[in-house]
Amino acid sequence: MQKNVNPYRIYLKATREWVEVSEEYYRDHARYHDALRKRQQSHGQCVCPKNKFWLCDGDCFTCEFRRAGDVLSLDYTVENEEGDACSPLDNLADPVPSIEEIICDKAELDQLFARLNELMPEAVQIGKLRQDGLSDEAIAEIIGIKRTTFLSRLKKAKEQLATEFPDRF
């Protein structure tokens, strides 16, 4: 009588033994470790030969197939030509706008609102009513004009501002 053998096994490097696992666990284990190994190989840190893939336990820092050399992180510091300590983090662009950009944007926005007030004096009131969630018809009734006239004025003001402030529209 032949013994029912489970073909799914993984090797535990720490205990140096094979452990039988379910097919689902084996596939999840293989998928994770294959992706990890491929990522490390693409970064040039893993040189594990194909016939030793079964040894991969996901601990790349202690693996015998790890390529020697430093692992650089964003806070890893080195000396530059002047002898100053610098890191890759120093060379990343800061996504926060500078104070000069903020001041220029504020000045341009003030100009835009002043021009909008010239073109359509009721614009501030319309904006507040829109924030309150009122419909175009309700806003037109409140400011005392027809809805089509209201929409026409909005369209004309927007077109005029788009020509005068093309970066904002």
| 42-86 confidence digits (pLDDT tens) | 877 888 888 888 888 877 777 888 876 655 567 677 787 888 888
Choosing from 27, 51, 68, the residue where a domain stops is 68
Burial class (CB in 10 A: 0-12, 13-18, 19+), 150: buried
> In the chain, which residues have pLDDT < 70?
1-4, 68-73, 75
- Asked if the structure places residue 149 within a domain, the reply is yes
- Asked if the structure places residue 125 within a domain, the reply is yes
- Give the domain extent around 52: 1-68
- Asked if the structure places residue 2 within a domain, the reply is yes
Kindly calculate the radius of gyration of the chain based on its CA atoms and give it in whole angstroms: 33
- Asked if the structure places residue 142 within a domain, the reply is yes
- Asked if the structure places residue 169 within a domain, the reply is no
Q: Specify whether the CB–CB gap between 80 and 86 falls below 8 A.
A: yes
Q: Specify whether the CB–CB gap between 138 and 78 falls below 8 A.
A: no
Predicted model pTM: 0.44
How many domains is the chain built from?
A: 2
